[in-house]
């Protein structure tokens, strides 16, 4: 069965070629619109991702700032812990000073009692030894030993008071030193936390900028790739349309040549038949004559 193009006229072939050309151009336009839509979608997705990253960086910075700052932050908890530890240490020192003073007081009180008892025992022994002496000598000795006993008791009390005073002075000095130490340590920790928070914030800001640059570069690469792909597809479709049109033109030219040859052959056969009829008619006229 001959192809349908053999039954089409030249005008129909030209109309078909024009229709296919319009279809190819429409396909190219559709491809271009598809590529533009893809590029717009990629740009919108990249912008949305960048916005999400920036928002995430702000939220993360707020969380870190809230974690290290505020009334319930790590820094405040550490400062409160340092204050509590300082107060506990001061209370321990105060308690230790009181206990030590009580112990020293008890020790010197016991020593005083022992010395007083020893003095009494010695006086009694001396009194027992000097029995038989005169009343005057006994009174003198008694007064002498009483005075010695009072002096020793007063000396023991003075020594105990001096020791207690030294202990209290040492406790106050130690407490002041510990207070200064904890205060300096707290200031150092505060500065360290502030520096750490600042460093974390700078790190997150740098990371957010790097992520933003990365997404922008990735978006640009994807857009360029999509544009290049669509450009290549459009060029291929144009080339395909051009080849189809060339093929249709060649087929149309070939069909026109075939039609022209058929017409010429038909005209030749008709001429030969007319010539043969003329020859037959002439021969018949001769026979009749």
Q: For the residues 191-207, what does the mean pLDDT come to?
A: 83
Domain for residue 108, yes or no? yes
Gap between the Cα atoms of 61 and 6, Å rounded: 77
Q: Tell whether 6 is covered by a domain.
A: no
* Region label for 270, one of left (φ > 0), alpha (ψ between -120 and 50) or beta (otherwise): alpha
Does a structural domain hold residue 189?
Answer: yes
Place of tokens 């360029």: 224
| Residue 29 placed within a domain | yes
20 falls within a domain: yes
Q: Where does residue 196 rank: exposed (0-12), middle (13-18), buried (19+ CB within 10 A)?
A: middle
Residue 225 confidence (pLDDT): 86
Segment 122-131 mean pLDDT: 65
Q: What is the pLDDT of residue 95?
A: 66
Residue with token string 């291929």:
236
- Number of independent structural domains in the chain: 1
Least confident of 18-22, 62-66, 114-118, 212-216: 62-66
- Tell me, yes or no, whether 272 lies in a domain: no
In three-state secondary structure terms, 216 is helix
Whether residue 241 lies inside any domain: the answer is: yes
Report angle CA 49, 50, 54 to the nearest 5 degrees.
120
In the predicted structure, residue 70 carries a pLDDT above the cut 60: no
Q: How far apart are CA 203 and CA 196, in angstroms?
A: 10
**Domain containing residue 174:** 16-263
Mean pLDDT on 113-119: 74
pLDDT-derived band at 66 (thresholds 50, 70, 90) equals: low
Residue 8 lies in a domain: no
DSSP percent split of the chain into helix, strand, coil, nearest 5: 95, 0, 5
Q: What pTM was computed for the model?
A: 0.35
Model confidence at 178, in pLDDT bands (50, 70, 90)? confident
Query: How confident is the model over 54-67, as a mean pLDDT?
Result: 66
């Amino acid at each position: 069965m001959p192809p349908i193009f053999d039954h089409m006229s030249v005008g129909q072939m030209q109309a078909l070629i024009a229709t296919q050309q319009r279809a190819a151009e429409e396909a190219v336009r559709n491809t271009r619109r598809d590529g533009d839509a893809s590029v717009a979608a990629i740009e919108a997705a990249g912008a949305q991702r960048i916005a999400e990253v920036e928002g995430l960086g702000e939220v993360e910075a707020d969380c870190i700032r809230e974690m290290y700052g505020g009334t319930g932050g790590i820094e405040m908890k550490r400062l409160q812990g340092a204050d509590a530890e300082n107060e506990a240490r001061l209370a321990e020192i105060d308690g230790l000073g009181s206990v030590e003073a009580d112990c020293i007081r008890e020790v010197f009180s016991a020593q005083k009692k022992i010395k007083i008892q020893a003095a009494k025992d010695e006086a009694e022994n001396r009194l027992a030894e000097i029995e038989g002496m005169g009343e005057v000598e006994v009174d003198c000795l008694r007064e002498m030993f009483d005075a010695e006993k009072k002096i020793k008791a007063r000396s023991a009390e003075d020594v105990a008071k001096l020791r207690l005073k030294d202990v209290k002075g040492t406790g106050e000095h130690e407490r002041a030193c510990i207070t200064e130490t904890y205060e300096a340590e707290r200031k150092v920790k505060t500065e360290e936390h502030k520096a750490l928070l600042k460093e974390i914030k700078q790190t997150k800001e740098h990371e957010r900028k790097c992520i933003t640059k990365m997404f922008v570069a990735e978006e640009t690469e994807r857009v360029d790739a999509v544009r290049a792909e669509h450009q290549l597809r459009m060029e291929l479709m144009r080339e395909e349309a051009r080849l189809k049109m060339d093929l249709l033109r060649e087929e149309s030219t070939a069909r026109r040549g075939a039609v022209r040859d058929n017409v010429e052959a038909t005209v030749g056969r008709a001429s030969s038949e007319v010539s043969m009829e003329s020859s037959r008619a002439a021969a018949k006229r001769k026979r009749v004559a």
